[in-house]
Every structure is written in structure tokens, then in C-alpha cells.
Amino acid sequence: MNLVHNYEAEYIRKLIAPEGAAGLIKSGDTIAYGGFILSPIFTDGFIAKRVKEDKNFRNVKIMTQVYPGICQAAMADPTHEQIYFCNAFFGPGDRFLHVNGLCDFVPTLFHEFPYYLMNGYFKPRIVYLRTTPLDKNGFFNFGISNAFMKELCKKADLVVVETNSSVPYCYGGFDEALHISEVDYIVESDNSPLLAPKPVESTDADRMIANLLIDEIHDGSCIQLGIGGMPNVLGSMLAKSGLKDLGIHTEMFIDAFVDLHEAGCVTNAKKKIYPGKSVYTFAFGSQRMYDFLDNNPSCASYPVHYVNDPAIIARIDDMVSINNAMEVDLYGQVSSESDKFRQVTGTGGQLDFVFGAGRSNGGKSFICLTSTYKDKEGNVKSRLVPTFAPGTITSVPRSMTNYVVTEYGVIQLKGKSTWERADAIIGIAHPDFRDSLIAEAEKMNIWKKTNRIA
């Protein structure tokens, strides 16, 4: 590796084999993995090997957010006695581990997670995270996951970076990198490619919802999008819409934003907060998107307690927040993270943006969902339900829900009574379920025919 002379000796002194990095952990330790794409996948394999070989190595807590794939250290201990793996937002691998009793969920609001570290609610002895290789100025860049990485490193006793040349070098507002002087050990990984999931296919219902949302966005709007088929197709539609001077202030940077940039729709010129930059806290998507962010000065990552701070979001005029949900009940409560007692994802930043966009001058928050889905037996079920089943988590309280969208329409709930809310929600349910929803609403005393406004 070619290093600037000033850092060569320090780099070599801190270089450690992955087996040695795994050997730093002591029984009883609390450790952290860098979140999302910055999870130390290479070193995790060596920690798993140690778990299998050393039965005296016990009671180690590993904390992260969205492990990309399946955490091998957790898989190595089916007894759950050596490794206690917990996660503040689930991906597919985390869901698999959770179902099999090998992963616990940590409820959080995404923007608050750095404060958990600042206030001592979570204190790792060691943090392991993936970064770019050392740059000429002595920094390891966090690439596509600024989020809470710097705060993790500040609070840990030991910092171990796992360098990977596949991590794009991403510019940031601040806290997007770690200086070699802040690092205790360096592991050179196998430089494996970053996880780049296949795009989620959009459905006819997704396209209908996206078409409804197009009318809610205008020149100068600032956009936040979640993940899934609907946001992807919405981005494609917006790229062809002719809209101008759009801004981006988003928790997650997705492929749809690349389409908008390349179509010339995005300038970020109208933003009062971080003008001229597409702001995000982490990115996840295709290799095309990772290549787009690499050394791109039009985009900037910031820590999540800035990007997702509702007070900062509220200062952005015409903020449009668009997120998916699993269910909405007749009170207007939103469930976006669990299927009864099964944790599927997490609260993440959805509530942050619902709250912030709702206080923005001209801002709007949209919760989107298809009106129906098919269960495991192939039965069609409504996503608009009278009340949530036991165990179902409320991600957004009814008092904060703004707009709800299905393929049958867009409704606005703020300022409406429980009857007006129920009536509006039933109106965007699938027609096959409306009568049964009315019957249940009558039992719940939130809908009566005599209340109907002509």
C-alpha cells in the first residue's frame, strides 16, 4: 500500500491480523459493529471462528443496526450463551436470526441513537467497522454510512477499522471520516464488494400510488423517500416529470435519487438548510448508486442526529416525506415495523420525518401502502384494519399521522375527528373490505351513518 510518509510508521504499527482483532474481545464485553454497509463482515467471520473454538469465550454482547447478510458470530452460538446479538433495525438476515432466537431488537428513534451513546445508555468497549482505505491526509472515510459511526468511535475504548477498497469515498458535512490518530487497530480485509440488493419490483398498485404522489410535489420541493418498489417507481416518474429545483434531504439515499440527479431535476438551490447539497445519513442500493456517490461533491453525508432531527427537518420549506407502512388502523395509527409479534424492521427514521415534515412550512408527510396483501395461504387481506392485532407495534401515533395513500386515493387526517378519520380511511380501502370496516367502526363507536356529511 502506498502511504504518505507521515502515516506509514503509524499505519504499520496499528496493523493487525483479523485473528488478532477477534482476540481483542474479552468475555463479558459489550462491542459494537458499524451499522449497515459498514458492518465488519470480514472480521465477523474470524470472531465467529473464535466463538466455535473457544467455549470459555462467553457473555459477549454485540450491538448494531442492519447487518448486511447474517451475522456469523451470532450464528456460531446456537445456545445464545456466548454471543448476545441485538439490533436496532432489522434487515433480512436479522429477521432470520430473530425468528430463530439469535437476535433481539432494540427499540429506537434513529435520530436519537447517537444520544444513547452520549448519555451512556450504551457503552461499547470495542467498535469494529468497515471503512475506505487510508487516504493521503490520514483519514479513513465512512463512505455511505455516516449515521452514528463517529459517535460510536468516540465512546469506545478501542476502535478497529476494517479497510475495504469497495467502500465509496463520500464527502460529508462533518463526522464523515476517522483520522488514523483516532484508530487503535487496522485490519486489511479481502475487499469484497458491497451488498447491492436486486431492485424491488414495483406492482401496479405501487405505480398507482406513485402517480397520485406526483401531483403533491412541485418545483422546489425537498424530498425524503423510503425504500421499496413504490419509491423507486416514483423516482423514475419524477425524473420524467419536468419538475425543477428539487431538493433532497433524506435519511437513506436510494437509486431513485440518482435518476433525479441525472435528469437535472435536483439542484438543492431552494433549501435553506444545507443548500446546494443532497443530504443523507446512509445509502443502500445498487453498485450504480455507490459509484454515483463516490467523490461526488453534489452530495453530503451528515450524522443522523442532524439529518433526522425533526427540528432541522421542520426548517426546510416544502419538505415532502414519503414512507411505506404495513398497516394503518381506523384511528390513523401506523404500523411499519412488525407483523404481530414478529419484528420485521424498526421504527428507524420514519417518525422523525413524519414529525419534522409536518412542522415544515408547506411540508407534507405521506404514509403509503397498498390496500391489500396476500397471506401465506394466499388469502387476500386488507392493510387498512379496524385495530391492530396484539403484538403489532405502532410506529406513528394517530396524533402525528398526516397523509395516508393507497391506490384508491390520498387522504389528510390532521385536524379530523375519530369519525372523520375512520370515514376517510375506509374510503381508500379496497372496495371488497369497506363494508366490513364500516361494521367494525360502528362497533368501535367511531362511525355512524347519521354522522355522514352530505
For residue 197, tell me if it sits in a domain: no
Reported as a pLDDT band with limits 50, 70 and 90, residue 5 is low
Confidence label for 448 from pLDDT (cuts 50, 70 and 90): confident
- Report the alpha-carbon distance of residue 4 to residue 434 in Å, rounded: 68
Provide DSSP, 49-117.
HHHHH-TT---EEEEES--SS--HHHHT-TTSSSEEEEESS--HHHHHHHHTTS-EE----GGGHHHHH
- Asked if residue 147 and residue 53 are part of one domain, the reply reads yes
**pLDDT score for 322:** 96
- Amino acid at position 242, single letter: G
Catalytic residue selected from 176, 251, 327, 337: 251
Regarding whether 220 and 153 lie in a shared domain, the answer is: no
- Percent of the chain's residues with pLDDT above 70: 98
- What pLDDT was estimated at residue 454? 44
39-49: per-residue pLDDT in tens? 999 999 999 99
Measured CA to CA, the distance from residue 244 to residue 308 in angstroms comes to 24
Report helix, strand or coil for 166: coil
Residues whose CB is less than 8 angstroms from the CB of residue 395 and which lie 6 or more positions away in sequence, other chains included = 325, 334, 335, 336, 337, 347, 350, 351
Q: Is 53 a catalytic residue?
A: no
pLDDT in tens, 283-301: 999 999 999 999 999 999 9
Listing DSSP states for 183-251 in one string gives: -SEEEE---PPPP-PPPPPPPHHHHHHHHHHHTT--TT-EEEE-SSHHHHHHHHHHHTTT--SBEEB-S
Measured CA to CA, the distance from residue 78 to residue 90 in angstroms comes to 19
How do strand 30-33 and strand 60-64 relate by DSSP bridges?
Answer: parallel
Helical (H) or strand (E) element with 409: strand 409-412
Contact yes or no for 104/90 (Cβ under 8 A): no
C-alpha cell at 433: 373490505
CB hemisphere CA count around 454 (13 angstroms): 0
Residue 125 confidence class, pLDDT cut points 50, 70, 90: very high
The arithmetic mean of pLDDT across residues 245-265, rounded, is 96
The C-alpha atoms of residue 370 and residue 203 are separated, in whole angstroms, by 9
Query: Stretch 101-105: mean pLDDT, rounded?
Result: 96
Does the structure show a pLDDT above 50 at 206? yes
198 domain residue, yes or no: no
Residue 344 lies in a domain: yes
Which has more pLDDT, 452 or 91? 91
Domain boundary among 122, 153, 188: 188
* CATH classification at residue 128: 3.40.1080.10
- Domain check: are 127 and 209 in the same one? no
Determine the Cα–Cα distance for residues 354 and 403; give it in Å rounded to an integer.
10
**What is residue 449's predicted lDDT score, i.e. its pLDDT?**
74
Sequential DSSP letters for 338-403: EETTEE-S--TTHHHHHHHHHTSTT-EEEEE--SEEE-TTS-EEESEESSPPTT---SB-TTT--E
> Side chain identity at 320, as an amino acid letter?
V
Residues 167 and 26 in one domain: yes
Per-residue DSSP letter, 1: -
Output the pLDDT for position 93.
Answer: 95
- Asked whether the predicted pLDDT for residue 139 surpasses 70, the reply is yes
Domain boundary among 156, 188, 220: 188
How many domains does the chain divide into? 2
**SS3 for 178?**
strand
Does 80 or 20 have the greater pLDDT score?
20
- 195 domain-assigned: no
Query: Domain range spanning residue 111?
Result: 5-188
Residues 335 and 444 both lie in one domain = yes
- Specify whether the CB–CB gap between 131 and 167 falls below 8 A: yes
Q: Is residue 414 part of a domain?
A: yes
The answer as to whether 199 is a domain residue is: no
Confidence of residue 105 (pLDDT cuts 50, 70, 90): very high
pLDDT band at 333; cut points 50, 70, 90: very high
Q: Angle, nearest 10°, between helix axes 418-427 and 431-443?
A: 160
Query: In terms of domains, do 397 and 261 share one?
Result: yes
pLDDT at 452 over 70: no
Q: How far apart are CA 435 and CA 35, in angstroms?
A: 45
Q: Is residue 254 located within the same domain as residue 403?
A: yes
* Long-range CB contacts (within 8 A, 24+) of 421-429: 421/330, 421/331, 421/332, 421/446, 422/330, 422/331, 422/446, 422/447, 423/447, 423/451, 423/452, 425/328, 425/330, 425/332, 425/384, 426/330, 426/384, 428/371, 428/384, 428/404, 429/371, 429/382, 429/384
Q: For residue range 403-425, what is the model confidence (pLDDT) as tens digits?
A: 999 999 999 999 999 999 999 99
Do 217 and 161 belong together in one domain?
Answer: no
User: Do both 245 and 290 map to the same domain?
Assistant: yes
Query: Are 116 and 257 part of one and the same domain?
Result: no
Q: What is the mean pLDDT of residues 221-248?
A: 91
User: What angle, 0 to 180 degrees and rounded to 10, lies between the N-to-C axes of helices 255-262 and 229-239?
Assistant: 0
pLDDT of residue 3: 59
Say yes or no to pLDDT of 232 above 60: yes
The C-alpha cell 433549501 sits at 271
CA–CA distance from 337 to each of 233, 244, 294, 417, 426 (Å)?
22, 34, 31, 26, 22
3-class secondary structure, 448: coil
Rounded distance between C-alpha atoms, residue 182 and residue 230, angstroms = 41
Give pLDDT tens digits for 147-198: 999 999 999 999 999 999 999 999 999 999 999 999 999 999 999 999 998 8
pLDDT greater than 70 at residue 426: yes
* Same domain? 27 vs 55: yes
Same domain, residue pair 212 and 242: yes
Name the strands in the sheet holding 327-329, side by side, starting at the edge strand that comes first in the sequence: 334-335, 327-329, 384-385
Grid coordinates standing for 356?
A: 419534522
- The SS3 assignment for 5 reads helix
Mean pLDDT of the chain: 95
Q: Would the CA dihedral through 199, 205, 211, 217 be positive or negative?
A: negative
